[in-house]
Amino acid sequence: MLRTIYFENGQVYMLDQRKLPWAEKYITCRTYRDVSNAISRMVIRGAPAIGIAAAMGIALGALKIRAKSKDAFFRELDRIGNVLKASRPTAVNLSWAVNRMLAKAAELKDRSLDEIREALVTESRSMLEEDIRINRRIGLSGAEVIEKGATVLTHCNAGALATGGYGTALGVIRAAFEAGNQLSVFADETRPFLQGSRLTAWELEQDRIPVTVITDNMAGTLMKQGRIQVAIVGADRIAANGDVANKVGTYSVAVLAKANHIPFYVAAPLSTIDLSLRTGDEIPIEERPAKEVATVFGKPIVPKDVPVRNIAFDVTPHELITGIITQYGIAKEPFEKHFREMFARSDEPV
C-alpha cells in the first residue's frame, strides 16, 4: 500500500487522491501554504489525514520562518496555524493537530529556534506513526461487530488514505478480515468526489478484501433484500452527545439502517470527538464549489443556469447510532459519559 503522506528532506509528500485510481502520483509541498492548498483542494482528505498534513504544515512553516526574535517566531507560528486551521472547516482533527503542534512549540520555548524546529518535525512524524497505531486499536475494538461472513456497507473513504494508514472504518473491516472473517463490502460510490468508488474500492482491492461498488441510492434496496448486515462509517467531528458529522449521505445510510433493523457503527479516534460542542447542530458544515456536482470529468451535467448545492457533510443524530468505535472500545448511549471515561483513560496526547 502506498503511503498517504510523509515528511522527508524538509518537504512533505502527499499521494494525490484526486488522481486515484488512474494514476499513483505524489505532489511535493515545500511551504505551509502548499499544504493548506493541498488540503482545501482535496489532494489529501479524510479527517485524521488532514490533521497529520496540518501538523506537517506547521513543521514546514517553522523551518522557513526567518524571525529576528523568539516572540516574532511564535507570533508567526500562530498565524501559520490559523491559515492551516481555515483550510477546511468540518473535521476537528485539523485544529486538534495544529493546537498540539503549537503546544509542543510552547513547551520548548526556552530552547533554541533550531531545536524547536527539529522537535516540530519529529512531533509531526510521530503523529503519523501514532495514528496508525490508534487505527489498529480501533480495528481490534470493532472487529467483533462484523459477524462471520457478513456484508458490510461503508460510505465515503475512512481507510488508509484518509488517515496515517490502516484506516478507521476500513481498519475495523481490515482487522476482522485479518482475523479470518470472510466478510465482503459494499462501497457507496459517494457523489460527487467519488471517495467510495475511486478510493475505498482501490484500497480494498489491494488487500484482496471482496468489494462491490454501488451508487449511493442503492443502499436502501440492498438492505431491504437482506444483503447488508452492518454499516460502518468514519467521522469528521463528533459532538459530546454522540451526534456525528461525516460525509454527506451518511445520515441517509443511518436512517435506512434503522428502518431495516441493521446496526449502524461509527469508527473514529478520540481526536475526532469535540467535547466543546454539545450537539451536532453546532458543527460547522463545509459547502464546496458547485462545479464539483455540476460537472463530471469537466463536462457539465446540469443546465447552465440551474443552481446547484454541494453540501459536503451531514450530521447523523446519536439516536441512530448503535455504537462509536474508538481505540478505547465501543461507546454507546449515554455517549458523553463513555467519551469522558475514554478521555480519562487515554495515554496519548489528546
- The Cα–Cα gap between 8 and 16 comes to 17
In angstroms, give the least distance from the CB of 235 to ligand MRU.
Answer: 6
- The Cα–Cα gap between 88 and 42 comes to 10
In angstroms, give the least distance from the CB of 38 to ligand MRU.
Answer: 12
- Residue with Cβ nearer ligand MRU (65 or 92): 92
Extract the C-alpha cell encoding 202. Answer: 482501490
In angstroms, give the least distance from the CB of 110 to ligand MRU.
Answer: 37
Query: Applying CB under 6 A, which part among 7-15, 54-62, 108-116, 156-164 lies near ligand MRU?
Result: 156-164
- Residue with Cβ nearer ligand MRU (48 or 329): 48
Q: Compose the 211-240 pattern: x for residues touching ligand MRU by CB under 6 A, - for all others.
A: -----------------------xxx----
In angstroms, give the least distance from the CB of 15 to ligand MRU.
Answer: 14
Q: Does 247 bind ligand MRU (CB under 6 A)?
A: yes
Are 272 and 93 in contact, with CB atoms under 8 Å apart? yes
In angstroms, give the least distance from the CB of 119 to ligand MRU.
Answer: 27
- Residue with Cβ nearer ligand MRU (119 or 283): 283
What is the separation of C-alpha 5 from the centre of its chain, rounded to a whole number of angstroms?
13
Q: Does 192 bind ligand MRU (CB under 6 A)?
A: no
Residue of 91, 97, 240, 315 interacting with ligand MRU (CB under 6 A): 91
Q: Does 173 bind ligand MRU (CB under 6 A)?
A: no
At 41 the three-state DSSP class reads: coil
Are 71 and 46 in contact, with CB atoms under 8 Å apart? no
Are 178 and 253 in contact, with CB atoms under 8 Å apart? no
Q: Does 271 bind ligand MRU (CB under 6 A)?
A: no
Concerning whether 243 is annotated as a catalytic residue, the answer is: no
Q: In terms of C-beta distances under 8 Å and separation of at least 24 residues, what long-range contacts does 34-43 make, across chains too? A: 34/60, 35/60, 35/84, 35/87, 36/83, 36/84, 36/86, 36/87, 37/87, 38/14, 39/84, 39/87, 39/88, 39/94, 40/87, 40/88, 42/17, 42/18, 42/193, 43/14, 43/16, 43/17, 43/18
- Residue with Cβ nearer ligand MRU (211 or 312): 312
- Residue with Cβ nearer ligand MRU (63 or 290): 290
Q: What are phi and psi of 261, to 5 degrees?
A: 55, 45
- Residue with Cβ nearer ligand MRU (46 or 139): 46
Residue of 36, 168, 197, 241 interacting with ligand MRU (CB under 6 A): 168
Query: Applying CB under 6 A, which part among 44-52, 104-112, 120-128, 315-323 lies near ligand MRU?
Result: 44-52
Q: Which residue has the cell 498540539?
A: 100
DSSP secondary structure string for all residues of 95-150: HHHHHHHHHHHHHTTTS-HHHHHHHHHHHHHHHHHHHHHHHHHHHHHHGGGS-TT-
Catalytic residue among 34, 236, 274, 314: 236
In angstroms, give the least distance from the CB of 165 to ligand MRU.
Answer: 11
Q: Does 162 bind ligand MRU (CB under 6 A)?
A: yes
Q: Does 312 bind ligand MRU (CB under 6 A)?
A: yes
Are 47 and 32 in contact, with CB atoms under 8 Å apart? no
Are 231 and 253 in contact, with CB atoms under 8 Å apart? yes
Contact residues for ligand MRU (CB under 6 A)? 45-48, 91, 156, 158, 162-163, 168, 195, 234-236, 246-247, 312
**Catalytic residue positions?**
236
